[in-house]
Structure 1
Amino acid sequence: MKQEPGEKVLVIGAGYAGLTAAITMASYGYQVAVVEKHETTGGRGRAFSESGFTFDMGPSWYWMPEVAEGFFNRHGRRIGDYLSLVRLDPSYQVVFGKNDVVQLPASFSGICSLFESIEKGAGSKLKIFMREAEYKYQTAMKTYINKPGLHISELCNAEVIQSVLKMDMLQSFRSHASKFFKDERLLRIIEFPILFLGATADKIPAMYSMMNYADMKLGTWYPMGGMVKLSEALTTLAREKGVHFLNGTEVTSLVVINDKVSGVDTNKGFISADIVISGADYHHTDRELLPVQKSNYSEEYWQKRVMAPSCLIYYIGVNRKLPGLLHHNLFFEHDLQQHATAIYKTSTWPSHPLFYLCCPSKTDISVAPEGMENLFYLIPTAPGLADTPEIRERYLKMLLSETELFCGESFEKDIIYSRSYAYSNFIEDYHAFKGNAYGLANTLGQTSFLKPSIRHKKIKNLFFTGQLTVPGPGVPPAILSGEMVAHHILKQKSVKHEIFI
């Protein structure tokens, strides 16, 4: 296929993947429009403001900063011209008990010293562990993550084959980590980055120790003003490239004629297109927007997919400052195994949940009124786990009680804003399959060409991007996913384009 003059590309959804797909296609001369259900762009990376607070709705960790920076660079821009990044130090703290708190310094040498202080010999072992993790990270970024996942042949080259054993694909993460560390606290810190990948540490492949390299070497960053600033930066770049946004416009169906999408029906009328890229929930597009007989996958296929966790979130505004908290706080006081069992085996609410608490007002005074705190609580939960107002209220009280105990002060009476967000909200806002928050589980059986495909099998001008396809969930993978599908289309169209990573 050759590019035709003035071809129109329609992108469904203005999340990270939709935005990078739109920017890339526009950079190569296509007329690009983005149809977005919500009034603002960003998808899960949106924010909202209430009572003087600004709450990031979804992602709160800014890792792998070179991914976003590289994307802007490839479009002749510097990300620093769009947002202000600061590196957090300490990166985060892990609370194992009132008087048992571990703070991770930003410097790797500081982390090694910390590990050594907890377990003799652990500092030098961490250096060895990290050398392996760095190899996995660099190899993945160079060899795996830039593949469109269309066929097994993508992995059948000498470089990939040679890396298989070193990537530890057949060993579990827990088995690998246990060779280096014995202290349970260190193991929890090492295992923390894989908590949302979709399986327990004894099931996730050890290759994901690459996430420890992202954590401990590349660091934890924060865009001043909130994570929403990344969405806003991408939106600004898109507009600079000529992308047109149709916010507040929801796609209700894809119109297919003779195995070609001619456009989409929306709540505001029909929009024609020569190429459609869906950054909406893949299952929603496949089973609800397309005519059933044109679906890429059967409902049976979708029901067999293994999902990563969903979550229960609280956005809390407190009319005072709270002692003891950092920007990122992981409360790991309770038994990890019981919580993991509730998520991955029994699909029940955990009796004593582990949770994450983000307090961005410790870093950024703009996200809360003066003298107040902005709190973002998150409990990982099983996907498809329905909730009720009573459940939400009960778990909020648990989290507040545990936080008050840690801070040594009561503050429930000082809460001036509170909102919860869970399963039903993910479905309402994003048509999220099974109310998922983190996409498909990162198991070997759902990796690369075994993920849902970025292209439709029969409809040649329909493509998919986002967390349910390659490379997978998370902010950096979403950025790469949009760029990847765009470059696949350009290749199909025989448009000369740069290798993107």
Structure 2
Amino acid sequence: MSKQHIVIIGAGLGGLSSAIVLQSRGYQVTCLEKNDEPGGKLHEVKLGSASFDFGPNTITMPHVFQDVLKGAGLNPDEYFTFTKLQKHTTNAFPDGTSFSFSSNMEEMQEELFQLDPGAADRYPAYLKEAERLYKLAENHFFNRTFSGFRDYFSFGLARALAASKPVQTMDAFHQRFFSDERIRAAFNRYATYIGSSPFDCPATFSLIGYLELADGVYYTNGGNYKIALGMKRAASDLGVAFHFGEEVTNLEIVNRNVQNVHTKKRMLQADAVIMNGDLLTQFPALVSEDKRPSFSDKKAASFEPSISAAVVLSATDTAFPTNHHHVFFSGDPEKEFRQIFQDKQYGDDPTVYLCTSSRTDHSRSSDGDNVFLLVNAPAVSSKKSEFPIERIYRKLSAYGIDLRHHTTEHQVILPEHIQDSFYAFRGALYGLSANSRKNTFLRPYNQAADISNLYFAGGSTHPGGGSPMVTISGVRTAELLMKQQR
């Protein structure tokens, strides 16, 4: 009996994890990727003697990546390894104060005590509540797939959702524990990990604090892009066939099934297809509207995108006094989020995030630093917003970081580039925002409603954006496919 042939569109972390699961379970998998390398947004950029991770710089839940390979009978340490960062993120404020996040409870309380002794006292209670939210999500939400609305009709799921503070905002949740606005701004920044505003997204996502502050923040040795390279190598070792630089042009639908997958170079017969590209742009691009009445072009365009980003990669000739992760906060974070989401503009006083992985891994920059600079940006829209790069350079200079005069090579990536290069919905980094309860808990399903053998994995479907969630999405979608196509 011949193996079922599964075609995966996109070699991002979702597609790679699906490929590993399916190939290890006896399917024959072919993965088509329009770019020349795996990982999607998670890839390496080189400028002079410096190298950068474009894409996720903060890695949490390393066990998620390791478990994909373990489940296929492989030793993950042969493909990628991690280093845990202790005091991993420094939060700096306009008044000259700062404190660092740590996964050590006592260290964290000492850091908070400098700004607010009461916050240090309440920190254990905060961490316990963040852990409760995480356990609820892990047990009832992360590890599920949704192929239709009826999948939500579960008493256990309904009870878990009700207990996860879906009505309270993240900012309101943090106000219970932290009265100091600086501390609250630092914790509220977790909303940007899902591309949202802490003043709108549900308190449910405060669970991210537990992941960083209890489980820890990690760096993938050699660069975070090594996760994608390692997963691709693991998939190849199992027998997955990859075709890079080959873009899918359309899916041929016959009797509510994908029958063939077309590229400019070939046609592939498929027993089932997993689409790891952005669902909101690629489903409409590859399937004619009459074949997907449940997901019209109008519906696809109606979703609210997550935030995008403006990124500057700077190879420098000197080292700066920064942590591996360093955040320079706006004086008015609430105004900044309002300007991004409502006014569709960059903030007047933008929060600036720097990742300098050469602080941990000196091989990433032999002559100075590899400074990855990111500013939250509005998604692409009809409103034009000018990237305030000079304002950002002036802000960093006040902290002793003179990028303007110490950068030897640089590259600027704007939301339009992210939109065009990765077919990301309006340049969004995380698919949909979680500012509305609908987008939070009723994301697009993992299976097409009108096409029985078409499945979706990635940040624009369940369970959402971020490297671990996208990887979980790939695993669970592969399991759903196996269950249904068997």
Task: Compute the TM-score of the two structures, normalised by the length of structure 1.
Answer: 0.92
Name the residue aligned to 2:113. 116
Name the residue aligned to 1:149. 146
Name the residue aligned to 1:280. 277
Name the residue aligned to 1:94. 91
Name the residue aligned to 1:391. 386
- Determine if contact 1:47/1:55 at 8 Å carries over to the other structure: yes
Name the residue aligned to 1:374. 370
What is the distance in 2 between the residues matched to 1:164 and 1:245? 39
Q: Which amino acid aligns with 2:398?
A: L
Deviation at 1:338, TM superposition (A): 1.9
Counterpart check, 1:45 vs 2:48: no
What is the distance in 1 between the residues matched to 2:280 and 2:164? 31
What is the distance in 1 between the residues matched to 2:120 and 2:393? 35
2:451 counterpart (441, 459, 478): 459
Deviation at 1:401, TM superposition (A): 2.2
Deviation at 1:121, TM superposition (A): 2.5
- Determine if contact 1:312/1:421 at 8 Å carries over to the other structure: yes
- Determine if contact 1:196/1:309 at 8 Å carries over to the other structure: no
What is the distance in 1 between the residues matched to 2:154 and 2:288? 38
- Determine if contact 1:93/1:103 at 8 Å carries over to the other structure: yes
- Determine if contact 2:193/2:466 at 8 Å carries over to the other structure: no
Name the residue aligned to 1:498. none
2:438 counterpart (440, 445, 456): 445
- Determine if contact 2:146/2:447 at 8 Å carries over to the other structure: no
What is the distance in 2 between the residues matched to 1:386 and 1:331? 29
1:192-211, aligned counterparts within 5 Å? 192-211=189-208
Deviation at 1:32, TM superposition (A): 0.5
Mean Cα deviation higher: 215-224 or 452-461 = 452-461
Q: Which amino acid aligns with 2:392?
A: L
Deviation at 1:225, TM superposition (A): 1.3
Deviation at 1:164, TM superposition (A): 4.0
What is the distance in 1 between the residues matched to 2:412 and 2:268? 35
1:319 counterpart (314, 317, 320): 317
What is the distance in 2 between the residues matched to 1:284 and 1:439? 10
What is the distance in 2 between the residues matched to 1:189 and 1:439? 23
CA displacement, residues 39-86 of structure 1 (integer Å, 9 cap, x when unaligned):
111111111223122121111110122222222222223332222311
Q: Which amino acid aligns with 1:310?
A: S
- Determine if contact 2:58/2:218 at 8 Å carries over to the other structure: yes
Q: Which amino acid aligns with 1:303?
A: A
* RMSD over aligned Cα atoms: 2.0
Name the residue aligned to 1:491. 483
Deviation at 1:228, TM superposition (A): 0.4
Name the residue aligned to 1:422. 414
- Determine if contact 1:98/1:405 at 8 Å carries over to the other structure: no
- Determine if contact 1:348/1:385 at 8 Å carries over to the other structure: no
Matched residue SS, 2:260: strand
Mean Cα deviation higher: 168-177 or 237-246 = 168-177
Deviation at 1:178, TM superposition (A): 1.0
What is the distance in 1 between the residues matched to 2:416 and 2:383? 8
What is the distance in 1 between the residues matched to 2:234 and 2:337? 40
What is the distance in 2 between the residues matched to 1:232 and 1:331? 32
Matched residue SS, 1:447: helix
CA displacement, residues 358-391 of structure 1 (integer Å, 9 cap, x when unaligned):
11111111211x2311011111111124798x93
Deviation at 1:198, TM superposition (A): 4.3
- Determine if contact 1:19/1:482 at 8 Å carries over to the other structure: yes
Matched residue SS, 1:483: helix
Name the residue aligned to 1:499. none
- Determine if contact 2:377/2:415 at 8 Å carries over to the other structure: no
Deviation at 1:468, TM superposition (A): 0.6
Task: Name the % identity.
Answer: 24
What is the distance in 2 between the residues matched to 1:79 and 1:40? 20
Name the residue aligned to 1:231. 228
In the superposition, relative to structure 1, how do residues 433 and 410 fare at CA in structure 2: closer, same or farther (>3 Å)? Answer: closer
Matched residue SS, 2:386: helix
Q: Which amino acid aligns with 2:445?
A: S
What is the distance in 1 between the residues matched to 2:229 and 2:141? 29
Matched residue SS, 2:375: strand
Counterpart check, 1:298 vs 2:296: yes
Deviation at 1:13, TM superposition (A): 0.4
Q: Which amino acid aligns with 2:462?
A: V
Deviation at 1:484, TM superposition (A): 1.0
Q: Which amino acid aligns with 1:371?
A: D
1:252 counterpart (240, 249, 252): 249
Matched residue SS, 2:41: helix
Mean Cα deviation higher: 409-418 or 337-346 = 409-418
Q: Which amino acid aligns with 1:309?
A: I
1:67-86, aligned counterparts within 5 Å? 67-86=64-83
Unaligned stretches of 5+ residues in structure 1: 495-501
CA displacement, residues 136-160 of structure 1 (integer Å, 9 cap, x when unaligned):
1112111111111234554444433
- Determine if contact 2:147/2:448 at 8 Å carries over to the other structure: no
What is the distance in 2 between the residues matched to 1:378 and 1:447? 24
Matched residue SS, 2:446: coil
What is the distance in 2 between the residues matched to 1:19 and 1:287? 22
Deviation at 1:437, TM superposition (A): 1.3
What is the distance in 2 between the residues matched to 1:411 and 1:308? 28
1:313-352, aligned counterparts within 5 Å? 313-322=311-320, 324-352=321-349
Task: Compute the TM-score of the two structures, normalised by the length of structure 2.
Answer: 0.95
- Determine if contact 1:45/1:56 at 8 Å carries over to the other structure: yes
What is the distance in 2 between the residues matched to 1:328 and 1:387? 31
2:20 counterpart (10, 23, 27): 23
Matched residue SS, 1:91: strand
Deviation at 1:161, TM superposition (A): 4.0
Name the residue aligned to 1:475. 467
- Determine if contact 1:316/1:419 at 8 Å carries over to the other structure: yes
